[in-house]
Amino acid sequence: MLVFKLALKSLLNRRYTVLLTMLSIAISVTLLLSVERIRTQTKANFANTVSGTDMIVGARTGEIQLLLSSIFHIGNATNNVSWQTYQRIANQPNVKWSIPLSLGDSHKGYRVVGTTNAFFQHYQFGNKQALILAEGHSFSRSFDVVLGAAVAATLNYKMGDQLVMAHGTGNTSFAMHNHAPFTVTGILQATGTPVDRAIYVSLAGIEAMHSTGHAKEASDHKHEHKDEDEHEHEHEHEHEKPTQLLQNQPPQQITAFLLGLKSRIMTLMAQRQINQFKAEPLLAIMPNLTLHQLWEMMDLVEQALLIISACVLVSALIGMLTTLLTSLNERRREMAILRSVGARPHHIIILMISEAFLITLFGCLLGIALLYVSMIALQPIAASTLGVYLELSFISRLEWQLLSVILGASVIIGAIPAFKAYRMSLSDGMNVKV
């Protein structure tokens, strides 16, 4: 303990040099832990997004592109699927349930997903967890809208608020569907998946929203009804018409659809049948297998990032070694005095190793603090651009192992100047020229 106190006071005496060394180690530790945490949390987010879905079907394109666009709302589909094709496949005897998805619109940067009430009944995430409405209900009219938890919290929307959708998926759009506002009737509980960052409307609402006839009709009504009584009538009419649309106006096309089969044994056969569907070129994928393909593709990038982070950390430790060796020559008199007052060679060795260990330990602690600060800063960016939620969790077992390896390396590095100091003789220290 006495040696540790002596090492701490020695570091405080050289505080500026030590602080810079500590900062370089902290940045290296932050980089290494950030790469590891983003890698593991991204995988967990993707794996938890969809569960219990046997197949995703869309127009023929790349498997990963279909998965990313339909489930994670990253990128766009290359083509659509006709409603007749969807119905033919959804009505096959081996299909237990189906969820149609229509994409292509947005609201203030959040994706709008056209679907049916089957989405709220059958979609599962995590460990086969069902969606739960925190408030309100699902679609009962065409212009009902259900919000993901993050959308409602970020935009501060409440039940009964009206939303106007925009054509396209960009953050800025000049094609607003002002003629077809939607009313918030439900808000989902948070799931920690891209579901939280999406807006769900009925397929009939999507069709009505894109109908120019509807816009013209709505505009004509506004000019025809001028007095207050007629305005009330118009209000009632606008709420009756969507109900009719919900029941009688199926869409012409959808972007993709999810399938749940009665027996998973039939999955491969059903996938082959859909991929060979003659009426329309289709692609059926199994989400888990496609995710595995995605991880295999990303594995090389992950390894490269980890190697770069490790190289940065090694350079920081080498920098610490250089600092200790450089200061050692200036501390020869200090070592000699310690030996003259009774310090044994192993005390000098422990002192030098302790200094290296303390510098690395404080660097690691500072690096962990910087990690959480950077995670807080990156959270909204990762969620808005990638749909990935970075959780502020405690240090994981793997991260503890990495930190242990770093501290162990500091002990080995500290042994180098310690061995050099051990070889210094008392007379050499007392006679050193200054």
Question: Using one digit for the tens of pLDDT, what is the confidence trace for 187-217?
Answer: 999 887 888 889 999 988 888 877 754 444 4
Looking at residue 368, what is its pLDDT? Answer: 92
Contacts of 290 (CB under 8 A, 6+ apart): 56, 63, 64, 66, 67
Q: For residue 72, what pLDDT is reported?
A: 84
Mean pLDDT over each residue of the chain, to the nearest integer? 80
Instruction: Give the residue, 211 or 34, on which the prediction is more confident.
Output: 34
Per-residue pLDDT averaged across 24-46, rounded?
Answer: 84
Least trusted range by pLDDT, from 67-81, 96-110, 324-338: 324-338
Confidence of residue 384 (pLDDT cuts 50, 70, 90): low
**Residue with tokens 């118009």, as numbered in its chain:** 234
Q: What pLDDT sits at residue 236?
A: 43
* pLDDT given for residue 386 in this prediction: 64
Structure tokens at 160: 């009964």
Q: Picking from 12-21, 133-142, 240-249, 296-305, which range would have the lowest pLDDT averaged per residue? A: 240-249
Longest dimension (CA), the chain: 108
Whether the Cβ atoms of residue 233 and residue 146 lie closer than 8 Å to each other = no
Q: What is the pLDDT of residue 73?
A: 83
- The residue among 94, 72, 90, 92 whose CA lies nearest residue 82 is 90
Residue 103 or 340, more confident:
103
Q: Looking at the whole model, is its pTM more than 0.85? A: no
Band the pLDDT of 1: cuts 50, 70, 90: low
Q: Do 215 and 238 form a contact (C-beta atoms < 8 A)?
A: no
Q: What's the pLDDT score for residue 431? A: 56
At residue 255, the pLDDT reads: 92
pLDDT at 237 over 50: no
Report the pLDDT value the prediction gives residue 233, as an integer from 0 to 100: 41
Bridge partners of residue 124, in order along the sequence: 51, 130
Q: Mean pLDDT, to the nearest integer, of 97-105?
A: 91
392-422 pLDDT, tens per residue?
788 888 888 888 988 898 888 888 888 877 7
The residues near 131 (Cβ < 8 Å, ≥ 6 apart) are: 119, 120, 123, 124, 125, 188, 189, 191, 195
Average pLDDT over residues 295-305: 81
Give the percent of the chain with pLDDT over 90.
Answer: 20
Is the pLDDT assigned to residue 172 strictly greater than 60? yes
Which pLDDT belongs to residue 174?
62
Judge whether 37 and 399 are in contact, CB under 8 Å. Answer: yes
What is the pLDDT confidence band of residue 385, given thresholds at 50, 70 and 90? low
pLDDT band at 42 (very low <50, low <70, confident <90, very high): confident
Joined tokens for residue 280:
């329309």
CA–CA gap between residue 364 and residue 132 (Å, rounded): 41
Q: What is the pLDDT of residue 226?
A: 45
Give the mean model confidence (pLDDT) for residues 55-63: 90
pLDDT digits (tens, 9 = 90+) for 146-164: 999 889 988 899 999 988 8
Query: In angstroms, rounded to a whole number, what is the distance separating the alpha carbons of residues 183 and 146?
Result: 9
**Angle, to 10 degrees, between the axis of helix 212-224 and the axis of helix 228-248?**
160
Asked if residue 141 has pLDDT above 70, the reply is yes
Is 142's pLDDT higher than 70? yes
Give the pLDDT confidence of 4-19 residue by residue, as tens digits.
Answer: 777 788 788 878 888 8
pLDDT value of residue 426 = 54
Query: For a pLDDT cut of 70, what percent of the chain falls above it?
Result: 85
